[in-house]
Amino acid sequence: MTRLTVTRLTARPSTALTGRVTVPGDKSISHRALIFGALAVGETRIDGLLEGEDVRATARVLGQLGAEVLRKAEGRWRVHGVGIGGLTEPDDLLDFGNSGTAARLMLGVLAGHPVTAFATGDASLRRRPMGRIVEPLTRMGASFVARSEGRLPLAITGAAVPAPQVYRLPVASAQVKSAVLLAGLSAPGETVALEPEPTRDHSERMLRAFGAELRVEDGAEGRAVTLLGQPELTATDVVVPGDPSSAAFPLVAGLLCEGSDLTLPTVGVNPLRAGLFDSLIEMGADLSLENRRDLAGEPVADLRVRAGALKGIEVPPERAPAMIDEYPILAVAAACAEGTSVFHGLGELRVKESDRLAAVARGLAACGVAVEETEDSLTVQGRGAGSVRGGAEIAADLDHRIAMAFLVLGLAAEAPVTIDDGRTIETSFPGFPALLRGLGAEIEEGAEG
Protein backbone atom coordinates (compact mmCIF):
# COMPACT_ATOMS: atom_id res chain seq x y z
CA MET A 1 0.00 0.00 0.00
CA THR A 2 1.27 3.53 -0.76
CA ARG A 3 1.62 4.95 2.72
CA LEU A 4 1.43 8.55 3.82
CA THR A 5 4.71 8.92 5.69
CA VAL A 6 3.07 10.67 8.63
CA THR A 7 -0.13 8.96 9.61
CA ARG A 8 -1.58 11.52 12.01
CA LEU A 9 -3.47 14.45 10.45
CA THR A 10 -4.91 17.58 12.05
CA ALA A 11 -7.63 19.80 10.55
CA ARG A 12 -7.88 23.37 11.90
CA PRO A 13 -10.82 25.78 11.68
CA SER A 14 -10.85 27.17 8.13
CA THR A 15 -12.91 29.58 6.07
CA ALA A 16 -13.64 30.37 2.44
CA LEU A 17 -12.79 27.19 0.55
CA THR A 18 -12.99 28.18 -3.09
CA GLY A 19 -12.28 26.76 -6.51
CA ARG A 20 -12.92 23.72 -8.68
CA VAL A 21 -12.42 20.28 -7.18
CA THR A 22 -11.98 17.28 -9.43
CA VAL A 23 -12.80 14.29 -7.28
CA PRO A 24 -11.34 10.84 -7.99
CA GLY A 25 -13.16 8.27 -10.11
CA ASP A 26 -16.06 6.31 -8.68
CA LYS A 27 -14.80 3.38 -6.64
CA SER A 28 -17.75 1.07 -7.32
CA ILE A 29 -17.63 1.70 -11.07
CA SER A 30 -13.82 1.36 -11.17
CA HIS A 31 -13.86 -2.12 -9.60
CA ARG A 32 -16.58 -3.21 -11.99
CA ALA A 33 -14.88 -1.78 -15.09
CA LEU A 34 -11.78 -3.87 -14.35
CA ILE A 35 -13.79 -7.01 -13.54
CA PHE A 36 -16.12 -6.88 -16.55
CA GLY A 37 -13.14 -5.96 -18.72
CA ALA A 38 -11.36 -9.12 -17.53
CA LEU A 39 -14.43 -11.27 -18.27
CA ALA A 40 -15.01 -9.78 -21.73
CA VAL A 41 -13.37 -10.78 -24.96
CA GLY A 42 -11.07 -8.11 -26.35
CA GLU A 43 -9.54 -4.91 -25.00
CA THR A 44 -11.49 -2.70 -22.59
CA ARG A 45 -10.25 0.88 -22.33
CA ILE A 46 -10.97 2.67 -19.09
CA ASP A 47 -10.59 6.40 -18.48
CA GLY A 48 -10.80 8.06 -15.08
CA LEU A 49 -10.18 4.88 -13.11
CA LEU A 50 -9.79 5.48 -9.37
CA GLU A 51 -6.20 4.63 -8.50
CA GLY A 52 -6.87 4.15 -4.80
CA GLU A 53 -5.63 1.09 -2.95
CA ASP A 54 -9.01 -0.68 -3.09
CA VAL A 55 -9.20 -0.64 -6.87
CA ARG A 56 -5.52 -1.52 -7.17
CA ALA A 57 -6.31 -4.65 -5.14
CA THR A 58 -8.89 -5.68 -7.75
CA ALA A 59 -6.41 -4.96 -10.58
CA ARG A 60 -3.69 -6.98 -8.85
CA VAL A 61 -5.97 -9.94 -8.14
CA LEU A 62 -7.25 -10.01 -11.75
CA GLY A 63 -3.60 -10.09 -12.86
CA GLN A 64 -2.96 -13.05 -10.53
CA LEU A 65 -5.90 -14.80 -12.23
CA GLY A 66 -4.46 -14.37 -15.71
CA ALA A 67 -6.10 -11.20 -17.06
CA GLU A 68 -3.81 -8.56 -18.49
CA VAL A 69 -4.40 -5.26 -16.69
CA LEU A 70 -2.22 -2.38 -17.84
CA ARG A 71 -1.84 1.18 -16.58
CA LYS A 72 -1.20 3.48 -19.57
CA ALA A 73 -1.32 6.87 -17.87
CA GLU A 74 -2.96 8.41 -14.83
CA GLY A 75 -6.51 7.04 -14.72
CA ARG A 76 -6.11 5.41 -18.15
CA TRP A 77 -6.08 1.63 -18.00
CA ARG A 78 -6.44 -1.23 -20.46
CA VAL A 79 -7.76 -4.71 -19.71
CA HIS A 80 -7.31 -7.66 -22.05
CA GLY A 81 -10.15 -9.94 -21.08
CA VAL A 82 -10.04 -13.73 -21.08
CA GLY A 83 -13.79 -14.34 -21.49
CA ILE A 84 -16.26 -15.74 -18.96
CA GLY A 85 -14.83 -18.81 -17.24
CA GLY A 86 -11.38 -18.07 -18.66
CA LEU A 87 -9.55 -16.99 -15.50
CA THR A 88 -6.91 -19.36 -14.18
CA GLU A 89 -5.91 -20.63 -10.75
CA PRO A 90 -3.71 -18.18 -8.82
CA ASP A 91 -0.45 -19.58 -7.48
CA ASP A 92 -0.49 -17.45 -4.34
CA LEU A 93 -2.77 -15.85 -1.78
CA LEU A 94 -5.19 -13.15 -3.03
CA ASP A 95 -4.90 -10.09 -0.79
CA PHE A 96 -7.90 -7.75 -0.97
CA GLY A 97 -6.42 -5.21 1.43
CA ASN A 98 -9.13 -3.01 2.97
CA SER A 99 -11.71 -3.58 0.22
CA GLY A 100 -14.98 -5.38 0.90
CA THR A 101 -16.14 -4.65 -2.64
CA ALA A 102 -13.02 -6.21 -4.20
CA ALA A 103 -13.31 -9.30 -2.00
CA ARG A 104 -17.03 -9.89 -2.41
CA LEU A 105 -17.18 -9.22 -6.13
CA MET A 106 -14.09 -11.27 -6.91
CA LEU A 107 -15.33 -14.21 -4.82
CA GLY A 108 -18.48 -14.05 -6.98
CA VAL A 109 -16.27 -14.22 -10.07
CA LEU A 110 -14.23 -17.12 -8.62
CA ALA A 111 -17.42 -19.03 -7.76
CA GLY A 112 -17.94 -19.39 -11.52
CA HIS A 113 -14.46 -20.73 -12.25
CA PRO A 114 -13.25 -24.28 -11.49
CA VAL A 115 -10.23 -23.08 -9.53
CA THR A 116 -9.16 -23.01 -5.90
CA ALA A 117 -7.99 -19.73 -4.38
CA PHE A 118 -7.07 -18.46 -0.93
CA ALA A 119 -8.22 -14.97 0.02
CA THR A 120 -7.34 -12.57 2.81
CA GLY A 121 -7.30 -8.86 3.63
CA ASP A 122 -6.26 -6.34 6.25
CA ALA A 123 -7.43 -6.38 9.88
CA SER A 124 -10.59 -4.41 8.99
CA LEU A 125 -11.57 -6.70 6.11
CA ARG A 126 -10.80 -9.84 8.12
CA ARG A 127 -13.43 -8.86 10.70
CA ARG A 128 -16.20 -8.17 8.14
CA PRO A 129 -18.95 -10.72 7.51
CA MET A 130 -18.56 -12.81 4.36
CA GLY A 131 -21.33 -15.30 5.21
CA ARG A 132 -23.64 -13.09 3.14
CA ILE A 133 -21.82 -14.14 -0.04
CA VAL A 134 -20.63 -17.58 1.08
CA GLU A 135 -24.27 -18.64 1.47
CA PRO A 136 -25.58 -17.83 -2.05
CA LEU A 137 -22.33 -18.81 -3.75
CA THR A 138 -22.42 -22.19 -1.96
CA ARG A 139 -25.96 -22.72 -3.26
CA MET A 140 -24.63 -22.03 -6.74
CA GLY A 141 -22.01 -24.77 -6.37
CA ALA A 142 -18.89 -23.11 -4.92
CA SER A 143 -17.34 -24.52 -1.76
CA PHE A 144 -15.59 -22.61 0.98
CA VAL A 145 -13.44 -23.21 4.02
CA ALA A 146 -13.71 -20.03 6.07
CA ARG A 147 -13.58 -18.65 9.58
CA SER A 148 -16.78 -18.05 11.56
CA GLU A 149 -19.45 -16.07 9.65
CA GLY A 150 -17.49 -16.85 6.50
CA ARG A 151 -14.76 -14.39 7.48
CA LEU A 152 -11.41 -14.10 5.73
CA PRO A 153 -8.97 -15.70 5.38
CA LEU A 154 -10.94 -18.24 3.39
CA ALA A 155 -10.45 -20.79 0.65
CA ILE A 156 -12.87 -21.05 -2.26
CA THR A 157 -13.24 -23.71 -4.92
CA GLY A 158 -15.48 -22.48 -7.69
CA ALA A 159 -17.78 -24.44 -9.98
CA ALA A 160 -17.19 -24.94 -13.70
CA VAL A 161 -20.93 -24.73 -14.23
CA PRO A 162 -22.65 -23.01 -11.30
CA ALA A 163 -26.35 -23.69 -10.76
CA PRO A 164 -28.59 -20.71 -11.56
CA GLN A 165 -30.59 -19.52 -8.54
CA VAL A 166 -33.42 -17.24 -7.59
CA TYR A 167 -31.73 -15.60 -4.62
CA ARG A 168 -33.57 -13.32 -2.22
CA LEU A 169 -31.02 -11.00 -0.60
CA PRO A 170 -31.40 -10.97 3.20
CA VAL A 171 -29.81 -7.49 3.34
CA ALA A 172 -29.88 -4.58 0.91
CA SER A 173 -26.36 -4.99 -0.50
CA ALA A 174 -25.08 -4.20 -3.97
CA GLN A 175 -22.00 -6.27 -3.22
CA VAL A 176 -24.07 -9.40 -2.54
CA LYS A 177 -26.27 -8.75 -5.58
CA SER A 178 -23.20 -8.28 -7.73
CA ALA A 179 -21.45 -11.41 -6.40
CA VAL A 180 -24.52 -13.50 -7.29
CA LEU A 181 -24.76 -11.97 -10.78
CA LEU A 182 -21.02 -12.43 -11.40
CA ALA A 183 -21.28 -16.12 -10.50
CA GLY A 184 -24.44 -16.27 -12.63
CA LEU A 185 -22.42 -15.23 -15.68
CA SER A 186 -21.00 -18.77 -15.78
CA ALA A 187 -24.35 -20.48 -15.04
CA PRO A 188 -26.65 -21.86 -17.72
CA GLY A 189 -30.10 -20.23 -17.65
CA GLU A 190 -31.39 -17.38 -15.55
CA THR A 191 -29.92 -16.17 -12.26
CA VAL A 192 -32.25 -13.89 -10.32
CA ALA A 193 -31.16 -11.54 -7.52
CA LEU A 194 -34.22 -10.32 -5.63
CA GLU A 195 -33.47 -7.27 -3.53
CA PRO A 196 -35.74 -5.93 -0.76
CA GLU A 197 -34.71 -2.32 -1.53
CA PRO A 198 -33.04 -1.23 -4.78
CA THR A 199 -29.28 -0.83 -4.30
CA ARG A 200 -26.70 0.79 -6.57
CA ASP A 201 -27.11 -0.61 -10.09
CA HIS A 202 -23.63 -0.12 -11.55
CA SER A 203 -23.25 -3.87 -12.21
CA GLU A 204 -26.54 -3.97 -14.09
CA ARG A 205 -25.66 -0.92 -16.21
CA MET A 206 -22.24 -2.29 -17.01
CA LEU A 207 -23.45 -5.81 -17.75
CA ARG A 208 -25.77 -4.34 -20.36
CA ALA A 209 -23.00 -2.14 -21.77
CA PHE A 210 -20.81 -5.24 -22.17
CA GLY A 211 -23.63 -7.01 -24.03
CA ALA A 212 -25.31 -9.23 -21.40
CA GLU A 213 -29.04 -9.80 -21.42
CA LEU A 214 -30.60 -8.45 -18.23
CA ARG A 215 -34.15 -7.69 -17.01
CA VAL A 216 -35.01 -5.48 -14.06
CA GLU A 217 -38.54 -5.71 -12.68
CA ASP A 218 -40.10 -4.01 -9.67
CA GLY A 219 -42.76 -6.01 -7.85
CA ALA A 220 -44.40 -6.51 -4.46
CA GLU A 221 -41.35 -8.40 -3.18
CA GLY A 222 -38.85 -5.77 -4.27
CA ARG A 223 -36.66 -5.49 -7.32
CA ALA A 224 -35.81 -8.59 -9.36
CA VAL A 225 -32.66 -8.51 -11.48
CA THR A 226 -32.58 -11.40 -13.94
CA LEU A 227 -29.42 -12.27 -15.84
CA LEU A 228 -29.27 -14.73 -18.70
CA GLY A 229 -26.12 -16.76 -18.05
CA GLN A 230 -23.20 -17.62 -20.30
CA PRO A 231 -23.37 -14.50 -22.50
CA GLU A 232 -20.44 -13.42 -24.59
CA LEU A 233 -19.24 -10.17 -23.00
CA THR A 234 -17.72 -7.78 -25.50
CA ALA A 235 -14.95 -5.35 -24.52
CA THR A 236 -16.29 -1.82 -24.13
CA ASP A 237 -14.87 1.61 -23.35
CA VAL A 238 -15.69 2.87 -19.87
CA VAL A 239 -15.44 6.47 -18.68
CA VAL A 240 -15.59 6.61 -14.90
CA PRO A 241 -17.44 9.59 -13.38
CA GLY A 242 -16.32 11.35 -10.19
CA ASP A 243 -17.30 9.44 -7.07
CA PRO A 244 -20.28 11.01 -5.26
CA SER A 245 -19.12 9.27 -2.08
CA SER A 246 -15.76 11.07 -2.33
CA ALA A 247 -17.31 14.35 -3.51
CA ALA A 248 -19.30 14.26 -0.26
CA PHE A 249 -16.28 15.35 1.82
CA PRO A 250 -15.22 18.56 0.02
CA LEU A 251 -18.91 19.25 -0.59
CA VAL A 252 -19.81 19.24 3.10
CA ALA A 253 -16.59 21.14 3.91
CA GLY A 254 -17.80 23.80 1.46
CA LEU A 255 -21.20 23.96 3.15
CA LEU A 256 -19.72 24.30 6.63
CA CYS A 257 -16.73 26.64 6.16
CA GLU A 258 -18.01 30.22 6.06
CA GLY A 259 -17.60 32.03 2.76
CA SER A 260 -16.95 28.89 0.69
CA ASP A 261 -17.92 28.51 -2.94
CA LEU A 262 -16.92 25.25 -4.68
CA THR A 263 -17.61 23.60 -8.02
CA LEU A 264 -17.17 19.85 -8.39
CA PRO A 265 -17.38 18.91 -12.09
CA THR A 266 -18.60 15.58 -13.48
CA VAL A 267 -19.75 13.82 -10.34
CA GLY A 268 -21.96 10.72 -10.56
CA VAL A 269 -25.59 11.45 -9.63
CA ASN A 270 -27.05 7.98 -10.16
CA PRO A 271 -30.36 8.14 -8.22
CA LEU A 272 -29.34 5.00 -6.31
CA ARG A 273 -26.30 6.90 -4.97
CA ALA A 274 -27.76 10.39 -4.56
CA GLY A 275 -29.36 10.17 -1.10
CA LEU A 276 -26.81 12.55 0.43
CA PHE A 277 -27.62 15.31 -2.06
CA ASP A 278 -31.36 14.97 -1.33
CA SER A 279 -30.70 15.02 2.42
CA LEU A 280 -28.44 18.08 2.30
CA ILE A 281 -30.96 19.97 0.15
CA GLU A 282 -33.65 19.11 2.73
CA MET A 283 -31.32 20.57 5.37
CA GLY A 284 -31.34 23.84 3.45
CA ALA A 285 -27.95 23.46 1.74
CA ASP A 286 -27.08 25.85 -1.06
CA LEU A 287 -26.29 22.96 -3.41
CA SER A 288 -27.18 22.70 -7.07
CA LEU A 289 -26.72 19.87 -9.55
CA GLU A 290 -26.00 21.63 -12.83
CA ASN A 291 -25.45 20.51 -16.41
CA ARG A 292 -26.94 17.05 -15.88
CA ARG A 293 -25.87 14.64 -18.61
CA ASP A 294 -24.99 11.04 -19.33
CA LEU A 295 -21.41 9.75 -19.24
CA ALA A 296 -20.93 6.26 -20.68
CA GLY A 297 -24.22 5.02 -19.24
CA GLU A 298 -24.13 6.80 -15.86
CA PRO A 299 -25.84 10.14 -15.03
CA VAL A 300 -23.44 12.91 -13.96
CA ALA A 301 -23.71 16.61 -13.05
CA ASP A 302 -21.50 19.49 -11.97
CA LEU A 303 -22.08 20.26 -8.31
CA ARG A 304 -22.03 23.86 -7.05
CA VAL A 305 -21.99 24.42 -3.33
CA ARG A 306 -21.89 27.56 -1.20
CA ALA A 307 -21.62 27.80 2.57
CA GLY A 308 -24.76 28.52 4.58
CA ALA A 309 -26.80 27.57 7.61
CA LEU A 310 -28.26 24.04 7.81
CA LYS A 311 -31.18 22.68 9.81
CA GLY A 312 -31.67 19.20 11.29
CA ILE A 313 -33.65 16.54 9.42
CA GLU A 314 -35.06 13.07 9.80
CA VAL A 315 -33.74 10.58 7.23
CA PRO A 316 -36.05 7.58 6.62
CA PRO A 317 -34.70 4.00 6.47
CA GLU A 318 -35.68 3.60 2.78
CA ARG A 319 -33.04 6.16 1.87
CA ALA A 320 -30.19 4.21 3.47
CA PRO A 321 -29.13 2.15 0.41
CA ALA A 322 -28.79 5.35 -1.68
CA MET A 323 -26.40 6.93 0.82
CA ILE A 324 -25.02 4.06 2.85
CA ASP A 325 -21.43 5.36 2.73
CA GLU A 326 -22.41 8.97 3.42
CA TYR A 327 -23.76 8.79 6.99
CA PRO A 328 -20.45 9.70 8.65
CA ILE A 329 -20.21 12.97 6.71
CA LEU A 330 -23.97 13.62 6.97
CA ALA A 331 -23.63 13.24 10.75
CA VAL A 332 -20.87 15.90 10.67
CA ALA A 333 -23.21 18.21 8.73
CA ALA A 334 -25.97 17.45 11.27
CA ALA A 335 -23.64 18.33 14.17
CA CYS A 336 -23.13 21.77 12.61
CA ALA A 337 -26.85 22.27 11.82
CA GLU A 338 -29.52 23.96 13.96
CA GLY A 339 -31.79 21.42 15.66
CA THR A 340 -31.99 17.67 15.93
CA SER A 341 -31.32 15.13 13.18
CA VAL A 342 -32.37 11.48 13.28
CA PHE A 343 -31.12 8.85 10.83
CA HIS A 344 -32.98 5.52 10.69
CA GLY A 345 -32.17 2.11 9.19
CA LEU A 346 -28.42 2.17 9.81
CA GLY A 347 -27.84 -1.47 10.79
CA GLU A 348 -25.50 -2.04 7.84
CA LEU A 349 -23.18 0.73 9.07
CA ARG A 350 -22.02 -1.63 11.79
CA VAL A 351 -20.33 -3.95 9.26
CA LYS A 352 -18.48 -1.45 7.09
CA GLU A 353 -14.71 -0.83 7.22
CA SER A 354 -15.41 -0.13 10.92
CA ASP A 355 -18.56 -0.11 13.03
CA ARG A 356 -19.36 3.30 11.59
CA LEU A 357 -22.39 3.93 13.77
CA ALA A 358 -20.30 3.50 16.92
CA ALA A 359 -17.31 5.38 15.45
CA VAL A 360 -19.44 8.39 14.44
CA ALA A 361 -21.25 8.50 17.80
CA ARG A 362 -18.00 8.21 19.74
CA GLY A 363 -16.19 10.81 17.63
CA LEU A 364 -19.00 13.37 17.74
CA ALA A 365 -19.33 12.95 21.52
CA ALA A 366 -15.56 13.52 21.87
CA CYS A 367 -16.03 16.78 19.93
CA GLY A 368 -18.75 17.99 22.31
CA VAL A 369 -21.84 16.97 20.33
CA ALA A 370 -24.76 15.22 22.09
CA VAL A 371 -25.63 12.00 20.25
CA GLU A 372 -27.80 8.98 20.87
CA GLU A 373 -27.04 5.67 19.23
CA THR A 374 -29.40 2.67 19.02
CA GLU A 375 -28.77 -0.63 17.25
CA ASP A 376 -29.74 0.96 13.92
CA SER A 377 -30.32 4.68 14.37
CA LEU A 378 -28.44 7.83 15.27
CA THR A 379 -29.75 11.06 16.79
CA VAL A 380 -27.51 14.12 16.59
CA GLN A 381 -28.23 17.33 18.53
CA GLY A 382 -27.00 19.99 16.14
CA ARG A 383 -24.98 22.81 17.72
CA GLY A 384 -25.33 25.28 14.85
CA ALA A 385 -22.74 26.65 12.44
CA GLY A 386 -19.29 27.16 13.96
CA SER A 387 -20.40 25.99 17.41
CA VAL A 388 -19.04 22.43 17.59
CA ARG A 389 -16.24 22.37 20.16
CA GLY A 390 -13.86 19.94 18.38
CA GLY A 391 -10.48 19.71 20.07
CA ALA A 392 -10.35 15.90 20.07
CA GLU A 393 -8.22 13.11 18.66
CA ILE A 394 -10.29 10.55 16.78
CA ALA A 395 -9.34 6.90 16.16
CA ALA A 396 -9.96 6.27 12.45
CA ASP A 397 -10.05 2.49 13.03
CA LEU A 398 -8.77 1.61 9.51
CA ASP A 399 -11.78 3.43 8.04
CA HIS A 400 -11.16 6.05 5.33
CA ARG A 401 -14.60 7.60 5.62
CA ILE A 402 -14.35 8.06 9.39
CA ALA A 403 -10.95 9.72 8.87
CA MET A 404 -12.22 12.13 6.18
CA ALA A 405 -15.48 12.94 7.99
CA PHE A 406 -13.68 14.01 11.16
CA LEU A 407 -11.10 16.04 9.25
CA VAL A 408 -14.01 17.96 7.72
CA LEU A 409 -15.45 18.46 11.20
CA GLY A 410 -12.09 19.91 12.30
CA LEU A 411 -12.33 22.54 9.53
CA ALA A 412 -15.72 23.66 10.84
CA ALA A 413 -15.22 23.33 14.61
CA GLU A 414 -13.99 25.82 17.21
CA ALA A 415 -10.80 23.83 17.89
CA PRO A 416 -8.73 21.48 15.67
CA VAL A 417 -9.55 17.79 15.24
CA THR A 418 -6.78 15.21 14.85
CA ILE A 419 -7.18 11.73 13.38
CA ASP A 420 -4.73 9.13 14.59
CA ASP A 421 -4.16 7.43 11.24
CA GLY A 422 -4.89 8.86 7.80
CA ARG A 423 -3.30 6.06 5.80
CA THR A 424 -6.53 4.36 4.78
CA ILE A 425 -7.70 7.56 3.04
CA GLU A 426 -5.53 6.23 0.20
CA THR A 427 -8.04 3.41 -0.35
CA SER A 428 -10.63 5.73 -1.90
CA PHE A 429 -9.35 9.32 -2.07
CA PRO A 430 -5.62 9.51 -2.80
CA GLY A 431 -4.29 12.99 -2.02
CA PHE A 432 -7.34 14.12 -0.04
CA PRO A 433 -5.44 16.32 2.47
CA ALA A 434 -3.46 18.06 -0.29
CA LEU A 435 -6.57 18.60 -2.39
CA LEU A 436 -8.39 20.28 0.50
CA ARG A 437 -5.30 22.36 1.28
CA GLY A 438 -5.39 23.55 -2.33
CA LEU A 439 -8.89 24.95 -1.70
CA GLY A 440 -7.72 26.85 1.37
CA ALA A 441 -8.31 24.29 4.14
CA GLU A 442 -5.83 23.99 6.98
CA ILE A 443 -4.89 20.33 7.22
CA GLU A 444 -1.46 19.46 8.53
CA GLU A 445 0.48 16.31 9.12
CA GLY A 446 1.05 15.52 12.76
CA ALA A 447 -0.93 16.08 15.94
CA GLU A 448 -2.23 19.30 17.41
CA GLY A 449 0.70 20.58 19.50
Q: Which stretch binds ligand S3P (CB under 6 A): 170-178, 338-346, 364-372, 389-397?
A: 170-178
84 vs 182, beta carbon nearer ligand S3P: 182
Residue numbers 42-71 binding ligand S3P by CB under 6 A:
none
348 binds ligand S3P, rule: CB under 6 A = yes
Interface residue with ligand S3P among 174, 337, 407, 425 (CB under 6 A) is 174
Q: Count residues contacting ligand S3P (CB under 6 A)?
A: 10
341 binds ligand S3P, rule: CB under 6 A = no
178 binds ligand S3P, rule: CB under 6 A = yes
Task: List the one residue out of 19, 32, 81, 41 whose CA is nearest residue 298.
Answer: 32
124 binds ligand S3P, rule: CB under 6 A = no
54 vs 302, beta carbon nearer ligand S3P: 54
Contact 331, 343 (CB under 8 A): yes
Classify burial at 355, counting beta carbons within 10 Å of its beta carbon; exposed 0-12, middle 13-18, buried 19 or more. middle
Q: Is 92 a catalytic residue?
A: no
246 binds ligand S3P, rule: CB under 6 A = no
CA 391 vs CA 8, 10, 412, 432: distances in Å: 15, 10, 11, 21
Residues ≥6 apart with Cβ < 8 Å to 209: 236, 238, 296, 297
Residue numbers 180-239 binding ligand S3P by CB under 6 A:
200
14 binds ligand S3P, rule: CB under 6 A = no
**Euclidean distance between CA atoms 394 and 91, whole angstroms:** 40
33 vs 419, beta carbon nearer ligand S3P: 33
Per-state percent for the chain, helix, strand, coil, to nearest 5? 35, 30, 40
427 binds ligand S3P, rule: CB under 6 A = no
Q: Which residues of 24-43 are buried (b: 16+ CB within 10 A; e: fewer)?
A: bbbbbbbbbbbbbbbbbbee
**Euclidean distance between CA atoms 63 and 66, whole angstroms:** 5
Q: Which among 325, 355, 397, 420 is annotated as catalytic?
A: 325
325 binds ligand S3P, rule: CB under 6 A = yes
Residue 307 CB, nearest approach to ligand S3P (Å): 28
What is the contact surface with ligand S3P in residues (CB under 6 A)? 28, 101, 173-175, 178, 200, 324-325, 348
